């Protein structure tokens, strides 16, 4: 019987850092306004690089750290809502660039829950016994989909990538429980990248905006209501309590959401790992960037139990109990 063992986390964010003050030069806003409402101080924004470039960087580091060959990778799953192209998948671009000639590759679109959806999918492939080594990446260039004249959204997002390398093991199980769900009835709460129908034979052309749009109050209420329940579901499935958990690593959307979740769970904010101050909301990349940063800072020891929890467009949400 095979399980998934996570053997490493890595991340990459572009060098170009944009502070709240920088943003106040292009839209009517201020550092104080942004920070108090979101917890964000700065974000990394891409200059020339694409989503695939970020993911390639992360993939190469994961392979090098594990001392394996790209040819040993047999599965690449990339979570993104900002692919380089609608087709081919960004995962295929990565597969070609890193020389993972034995890997199948595909993208997953589950917005800010994407990395957890991708991990869960990779876990099922590895459990089948048919696949051995999986790259699971979250990568985004959200700056391409943001309306830079809309001060209510353009201050929220950042670009970057993070990922994990998983191997099939009959000795160590890193993925202990999960809760993955969707509420497609509420899909209009967060939208982005609309492709308009404007073929020459149409009388009425569609003119919906391409930009990311979000019903802030609605998604805030969704997150503070759903995330505590999802975390409790995972704990119940594994028959453990929050006392057994070292960290909760949430999707880094807004510090107020995390405060609301902590209050509902009746736990200290210290239990949550937060880094959105430096990166903003990087959607599918936010959880793996946090996990890579925690690894680098020696916050995660072998055997530690953590819960990762994503929530976003779809609406989707996904929590997972991980044993480091």
Active site residues: 112, 251, 281
Which of positions 293-322 make contact with ligand B82 (CB under 6 A)?
A: 311-312
Can you tell me which of 80, 90, 161, 281 binds ligand B82, judged by CB under 6 A? 281
Residue 217 Cβ, how far from ligand B82 at the closest point, in Å? 5
Residue 37 Cβ, how far from ligand B82 at the closest point, in Å? 5
CA 206/CA 154 separation, integer angstroms: 24
Contact 59, 68 (CB under 8 A): no
* Site for ligand B82 contains 257 (CB under 6 A): yes
* Site for ligand B82 contains 184 (CB under 6 A): no
Residue 293 Cβ, how far from ligand B82 at the closest point, in Å? 19
* Site for ligand B82 contains 216 (CB under 6 A): yes
Six-digit token string for 168: 């099939």
Q: Which is nearer to ligand B82, 125 or 222 (CB)?
A: 222
Residue 314 Cβ, how far from ligand B82 at the closest point, in Å? 9
Residue window 97-126: x/- pattern of binding to ligand B82, with contact defined by CB under 6 A: ---------------x--------------
Applying CB under 6 A, the span of 51-59, 131-139, 177-185, 217-225 interacting with ligand B82 comes to: 217-225
* Site for ligand B82 contains 289 (CB under 6 A): no
245 to each of 52, 289, 295, 304, how far by Cα in Å?
A: 34, 20, 16, 8
| DSSP reduced 3-state for 223 | helix
Q: What is the CA radius of gyration of the chain?
A: 19
Can you tell me which of 79, 122, 139, 223 binds ligand B82, judged by CB under 6 A? 223
The three-point CA angle 276-12-194 to 5° equals 70
Tell me the H-state helices in the chain. Answer: 20-24, 31-38, 51-66, 90-98, 114-127, 216-238, 255-265, 276-279, 286-296
Residue 192 Cβ, how far from ligand B82 at the closest point, in Å? 11
CA 53/CA 46 separation, integer angstroms: 10
Can you tell me which of 48, 203, 217, 301 binds ligand B82, judged by CB under 6 A? 217
Would you tell me how many other CB atoms lie within 10 Å of the CB of residue 69? 12
Six-digit token string for 292: 């890579």
Chain contacts with ligand B82 (rule: CB under 6 A): 37-38, 112, 156, 216-217, 219-220, 222-223, 253-254, 256-257, 281, 311-312
């Amino acid at each position: 019987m095979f399980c998934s063992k996570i053997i490493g986390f890595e991340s990459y964010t572009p060098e170009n850092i944009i502070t709240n003050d920088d943003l106040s030069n292009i839209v009517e806003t201020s550092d104080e306004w942004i920070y108090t409402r979101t917890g964000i101080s700065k974000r990394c924004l891409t200059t020339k690089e694409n989503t695939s470039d970020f993911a390639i960087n992360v993939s190469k580091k994961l392979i090098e750290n594990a001392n394996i060959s790209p040819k040993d990778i047999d599965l690449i799953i990339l979570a993104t809502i900002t692919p380089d192209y609608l087709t081919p998948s960004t995962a295929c671009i990565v597969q070609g660039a890193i020389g993972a000639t034995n890997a199948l590759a595909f993208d997953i679109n589950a917005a800010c829950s994407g990395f957890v959806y991708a991990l869960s999918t990779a876990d099922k492939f590895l459990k089948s016994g048919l696949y051995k080594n999986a790259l699971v990446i979250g990568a985004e260039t959200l700056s391409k989909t943001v309306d830079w004249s809309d001060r209510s959204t353009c201050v929220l997002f950042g670009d970057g990538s993070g990922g994990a390398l998983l191997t099939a093991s009959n000795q160590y199980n890193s993925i202990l429980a999960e809760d993955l769900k969707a509420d497609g009835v509420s899909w209009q709460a967060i939208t982005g990248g609309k492709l308009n129908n404007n073929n020459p034979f149409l009388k009425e052309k569609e003119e919906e905006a391409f930009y990311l749009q979000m019903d802030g109050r609605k998604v805030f209420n969704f997150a503070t209501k759903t995330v505590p329940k999802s975390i409790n579901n995972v704990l119940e499935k594994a028959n453990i309590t929050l006392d057994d958990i070292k960290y909760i690593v949430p999707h880094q959307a807004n510090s107020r959401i995390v405060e609301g979740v902590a209050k509902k769970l009746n736990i200290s904010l210290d239990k949550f790992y937060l880094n959105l101050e430096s990166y903003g909301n990087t959607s599918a990349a936010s959880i793996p960037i946090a996990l890579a940063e925690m690894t680098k800072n020696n916050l995660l020891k072998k055997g530690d139990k953590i819960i990762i929890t994503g929530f976003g467009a779809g609406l989707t949400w996904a929590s997972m109990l991980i044993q480091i």
